[in-house]
Amino acid sequence: MSDYVTSTRDGEIAIVTIDNPPVNALSHHLREPLFKALEAARDDASVEGIVLACAGRTFVSGADITEFGSPKALAEPNLPQLCALLESLPKPAVAAIHGTALGGGLELALSCHYRVADKGAKVGLPEVKLGLVPGSGGTVRLPRLTGPEAALKMIVSGNPIGASQALAAGVVDAVAESDLLAEAVAFAKAKVKEGGPHVAVRNRDEKLAAARADLAGFDAVAKELTKKARGLEAPLACVQSVRNAITLPFDEALKKEREFFINLVAGDQSRAQRHLFFAEREAAKVPGVGKETKPRSIAKVGVIGAGTMGGGIAMSFVNGGVPVTMLEMSDEALDRGLATIEKNYSISVSRGSLKEEEKQARMARFSRTTDYADLADCDLIIEAVFEEMSVKKDVFGKIDAIAKPGAILATNTSYLDVNEIAASTKRPQDVVGLHFFSPANVMKLLEIVRGEKTADDVLVTALALGRKIGKVPVVVGVCHGFVGNRMLGARGDDLEALLLEGATPEQVDKVFTDFGFPMGPFAMWDLAGLDIGWRNRKALGKTAVIADAVCEMGRYGQKTSKGMYLYEAGSRTPKPDPEIARLIEAKAEELGIQRRAISDQEIIERTLYPMINEGTLILEEGIAARASDIDIVWANGYGFPIGKGGPMFWADLEGLPKIVERLEHWHEKTGKTVFKPSALIRSSAADQQKLASRTAA
Residues numbered 350 to 409 that lie near ligand NAD (CB under 6 A) are: 384-387, 391, 395
Please say whether the dihedral angle defined by the alpha carbons of residues 430, 435, 440 and 446, taken in this order, is positive or negative. Answer: negative
Stretch that binds ligand NAD, among 91-99, 327-335, 502-510, 592-600 (CB under 6 A): 327-335
Among 136, 146, 273, 414, binds ligand NAD (CB under 6 A): 414
For residue 447, indicate whether it is catalytic: no
* Residue with Cβ nearer ligand NAD (201 or 338): 338
Q: What is the DSSP string of 263-318?
A: HHHTSHHHHHHHHHHHHHHHHTS-TT--TT-PPPP---EEEE--SHHHHHHHHHHH
User: According to CB under 6 A, which residues from 538 to 567 bind ligand NAD?
Assistant: none
d(CA 683, CA 690): 11
The distance of closest approach from Cβ of residue 435 to ligand NAD in the complex, given in angstroms and rounded to an integer, is: 6
Please work out, in degrees rounded to the nearest 5, the angle formed at the alpha carbon of residue 532 by the alpha carbons of 530 and 536. 120
- C-beta of 411: minimal distance to ligand NAD in Å? 7
Helix axes 627-637, 268-283, angle to 10 degrees: 100
The nearest distance, CB 362 to ligand NAD, in angstroms, is 20
Of the residues 32, 48, 87, 127, only one is catalytic, namely 127
Q: Which of 405, 393, 412 is nearest to 317 (CA)?
A: 412
* Residue 438 interacting with ligand NAD (CB under 6 A): yes
Binding mask 307-326 for ligand NAD (x = CB under 6 A): xxxx----------------
Among 329, 361, 363, 686, binds ligand NAD (CB under 6 A): 329
Characterize the bridge pairing of strands 100-102 and 93-97. unpaired
**Rule CB under 6 A: is residue 305 a binding residue for ligand NAD?**
yes
413 in contact with ligand NAD (CB under 6 A): yes
Please, are residues 607 and 494 in contact by the beta-carbon 8 Å criterion? Answer: yes
Of these, 279, 306, 378, 642, which contacts ligand NAD (CB under 6 A)? 306
Strand 122-124, strand 161-162: pairing: antiparallel
Of 103 and 302, nearer to ligand NAD (C-beta) is: 302
Least spacing, CB of residue 310 vs ligand NAD, in Å: 6
Long-range contacts of the stretch 262-265 (C-beta < 8 A, 24+) = 262/135, 264/131, 264/132, 264/133, 264/233, 264/234, 264/237, 265/68, 265/69, 265/73, 265/132, 265/135
- Give the angle subtended at the CA of 285 by the CAs of 280 and 287, to the nearest 5°: 130
Which positions from 478 through 517 interact with ligand NAD, judged by CB under 6 A?
none
State in angstroms the smallest separation of the CB of 413 from ligand NAD.
5
Minimum Å gap between C-beta 327 and ligand NAD is 6
DSSP letters for 331-342: HHHHHHHHHHHH
86 vs 314, beta carbon nearer ligand NAD: 314
Closest approach, Cβ 401 to ligand NAD, in A, equals 14
Minimum Å gap between C-beta 609 and ligand NAD is 26
Minimum distance of ligand NAD from residue 480's CB (angstroms) = 12
Instruction: Give the C-alpha separation, 101 to 59, whole Å.
Output: 5
257 is known as an active-site residue: no
CB of 432 to ligand NAD, least distance (A): 14
Tell me if 412 contacts ligand NAD by CB under 6 A.
yes
Residue type, 272: A
The residue at minimum Cβ distance from ligand NAD is 307
Residues ≥6 apart with Cβ < 8 Å to 539:
none
Rule CB under 6 A: is residue 519 a binding residue for ligand NAD? no
* Minimum separation from the CB atom of position 316 to ligand NAD (A): 13
Residue 340 interacts with ligand NAD (CB under 6 A): yes or no: no
Question: Does 56 sit near ligand NAD (CB under 6 A)?
Answer: no
Number of residues that bind ligand NAD (CB under 6 A): 23
Element (DSSP H or E) covering residue 481: none
Helix (H, G, I), strand (E, B) or coil at 192: helix
Of residues 19 and 387, the one with the C-beta less far from ligand NAD: 387
CB-count burial class (<10 Å; 0-12, 13-18, 19+) for 308:
middle
23 binds ligand NAD (CB under 6 A): no
* 139 touching ligand NAD, by CB under 6 A: no
Closest to ligand NAD by CB, 92 vs 433, is 433
10 or 342, CB closer to ligand NAD?
A: 342
- The residue (of 173 and 328) whose beta carbon lies closer to ligand NAD is 328
Residue closer to ligand NAD by CB (options 166, 381) is 381
Nearest residue to 256 via CA among 100, 158, 133, 369: 133
CA distance linking residue 534 with residue 464, whole number of Å: 37
671 phi and psi, to 5 degrees? 75, 5
Q: How many helices (H) and strands (E) does the chain have?
A: 31, 17
Q: Does 328 bind ligand NAD (CB under 6 A)?
A: yes
Q: Which of 87, 107, 447, 506 is catalytic?
A: 107
Q: How far apart are CA 527 and CA 641, in angstroms?
A: 19
Handedness of CA 542, 546, 549, 550 (dihedral sign): negative
For 529-567, give the secondary structure using H, E and C: CHHHHHHHHHHHCCCCHHHHHHHHCCCCEHHHCECCCEC
Q: How far is CA 582 from the centre of its chain?
A: 40
Contact region with ligand NAD (CB under 6 A), list: 66-74, 431-439, 554-562, 634-642: 431-439
Kindly tell me which of 222 and 633 has the beta carbon lying closer to ligand NAD: 633
Q: Between residues 395 and 588, which has the closer beta carbon with respect to ligand NAD?
A: 395
Residue number with CB closer to ligand NAD (218 or 436)? 436
Residues with Cβ within 8 Å of residue 537, at least 6 apart in sequence: 543, 544, 547, 548
Residue numbers annotated as active site: 107, 127
Rule CB under 6 A: which residues touch ligand NAD? 304-310, 327-329, 333, 384-387, 391, 395, 412-414, 436-438
